[in-house]
Amino acid sequence: MGKNKTVKYFVVDAFTDSAFKGNPAAVCFLNDDDNNERDDTWLQSLATEFNISETCFLIPITGFDARFSLRWFTPLAEVDLCGHATLASAHCLFSNGLVDSDMVEFVTRSGILTAKRVSDNSELNDGEVKGGTFLIELNFPVVTTCDINLSDDSSSMITKALNGATIVDIKATATNNILVVLPSMESVTELQPRMDDILKCPCDGIIVTAADSAGSAYDFYSRYFAPKFGVDEVKE
Domain boundaries in the chain? 8-139, 145-234
The one catalytic residue in 37, 54, 128, 190 is 54
Q: What is the pTM of this model?
A: 0.87
Which CATH number is correct for 8-139, 3.40.190.80, 3.40.47.10, 3.20.20.60, 3.10.310.10? 3.10.310.10
Q: What is the pLDDT of residue 100?
A: 94
Q: What is the CATH number of domain 145-234?
A: 3.10.310.10
- Residue 137 appears among annotated catalytic residues: no
| 7 Ramachandran zone, left/alpha/beta (phi>0; psi -120 to 50) | beta
Kind plus residue range of the DSSP H or E element containing 230 = none
Q: How confident is the model at residue 77 (pLDDT cuts 50, 70, 90)?
A: very high
Are 8-139 and 145-234 in the same CATH fold? Answer: yes
Report which of 208, 209, 203, 204 is spatially closest to residue 230, judged by C-alpha positions: 204
Q: What is the mean pLDDT of residues 180-184?
A: 97
Q: What percent of the chain has pLDDT over 70?
A: 92
Q: What is the mean pLDDT of residues 177-188?
A: 96
Alpha-carbon span 76 to 67, nearest angstrom: 27
Residues in the chain: 236
Give residue-wise pLDDT tens across range 6-25: 899 999 999 988 888 889 99
User: What integer pLDDT is reported at residue 129 of this predicted model?
Assistant: 47
Contact 59, 32 (CB under 8 A): yes
